[in-house]
Amino acid sequence: MKIEIKNTKKPIEYTKAISILEERIDKILNCNAKELIWILEHKSVYTAGSSYKKSEILDKSINLVNTNRGGKITYHGKGQLICYFVLNLNKRKKDIRKLISIIEKTIIETLEEYNVRSSADRKNIGIWVKKNNKRKKVAAIGIRVKKWIAYHGFSININVDLYKYNKIIPCGINSKNLINLKTVKKQNYKDMGNRLTKNFIRNLKNLVF
């Protein structure tokens, strides 16, 4: 199956990006568009998934965007790589758990290319690394499914302002358990979007019939 690859350099507003994803869903359902993988950054924003609780908002003054993705509250901003996708599971395996495993594998393999060891956690979805013998979360995953079209995506903290997370309980965990890749290993991560895309497309072959 052919997948369109987009890589947007200029930060984009969250609501605008979601609108584009939802338009793509309708087009795919009508057989008028390809599947999509989209690498981008967001302008500063707090978003709430379908399972968040108001008690997880520590600073009531923040502007919160409610979204239909799975998961809880998180923050997006400069220094965080976002990978959105719109995938037609009607033409693949209708297996959300398998898709999540593929995303986890993609992130882990990509970080290995930068000599960063990471792992998944069955209790707390996302990707974790070790720093000073402490496990810290470096990537988050949030998926929504509509008529077996899977969309939204995942994010990786490269050099995002972690102070922003102190205003919420991000993904239901303590903000002190978050980390940037630049803190784990200081190096150039500019090519990460391209490497993620390459690995994601390869691993998606395991989701076909």
Rounded Cα distance, 31 and 138, in Å: 36
Rounded Cα distance, 53 and 172, in Å: 9
Chain-centre distance of CA 141, in angstroms?
A: 4
Catalytic residue among 103, 156, 171, 204: 171
Q: Where are the domains of the chain?
A: 3-207
CB 89 within 8 Å of CB 145: yes
Rounded Cα distance, 144 and 153, in Å: 9
Is pTM, for the whole model, over 0.85? yes
Please report which helix (H) or strand (E) contains residue 157, including its range: strand 149-157
Superfamily of domain 3-207: Bira Bifunctional Protein; Domain 2 (3.30.930.10)
Higher pLDDT, 208 or 16: 16
Annotated active-site residue 31? The verdict is no
Model pLDDT for residues 91-111, shown as the tens digit of each residue: 999 999 999 999 999 999 999
**Cα Rg, the chain, nearest whole Å:** 16
Look at residue 51 in the predicted model and tell me its pLDDT.
84
Model pLDDT for residues 146-190, shown as the tens digit of each residue: 999 999 999 999 999 999 999 999 887 777 899 999 999 999 999
Number of H helices, E strands in the chain: 4, 10
Through-space distance between the first and last CA atoms of the chain, rounded to whole angstroms: 12
Strand arrangement, sheet containing 45-48:
64-66, 45-48, 73-76
Q: Where are the alpha helices (DSSP H) in the chain?
A: 14-29, 96-112, 181-184, 192-203
